[in-house]
C-alpha cells in the first residue's frame, strides 16, 4: 500500500500542483483539495495511466478520497 500511496500522491501533486506533504489517506478530493470536475477527470486519468488501469465512470464516482483511490488501485492492478 505504501508504494501505491506514494504513486497516487505523485499523480495528485502533478494534477493539483500541491505539496505531497499535505496529502494523507483521509484527504478528500473535493472537500480538502477543492478539486473541480475537470481536476477529478485528470486525477482519474492520471491514475489509469500510472497504474495501467481502466476505471469506469461508475467506479470513478466512488473514489472520493486518497484512501479510496489507493484501495481501488491495490484491488484492481495486475
What CA–CA distance (Å, rounded) separates 43 from 3?
17
Give the percent of the chain with pLDDT over 70.
Answer: 97
Task: Give domain limits for the chain.
Answer: 2-76
Domain 2-76 has CATH 2.40.50.140: no
Q: Which residue has the cell 467506479?
A: 59
Active-site positions read 36
Give the pTM: 0.91
pLDDT at residue 78 above 80? no
* Helix residue spans in the chain (DSSP H): 2-16, 37-51, 57-62, 66-76
Work out the average pLDDT over 40-66: 96
* Terminal CA-CA length for the chain: 14
Amino acid at each position: 500500500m505504501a508504494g501505491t500511496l506514494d504513486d497516487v500522491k505523485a499523480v495528485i501533486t502533478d494534477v493539483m500542483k500541491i505539496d505531497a506533504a499535505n496529502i494523507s489517506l483521509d484527504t478528500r478530493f473535493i472537500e480538502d483539495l477543492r478539486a473541480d470536475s475537470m481536476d477529478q477527470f485528470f486525477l482519474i486519468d492520471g491514475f489509469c495511466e500510472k497504474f495501467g488501469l481502466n476505471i469506469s465512470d461508475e467506479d470513478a464516482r466512488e473514489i472520493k478520497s486518497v484512501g479510496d483511490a489507493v484501495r481501488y488501485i491495490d484491488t484492481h492492478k495486475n
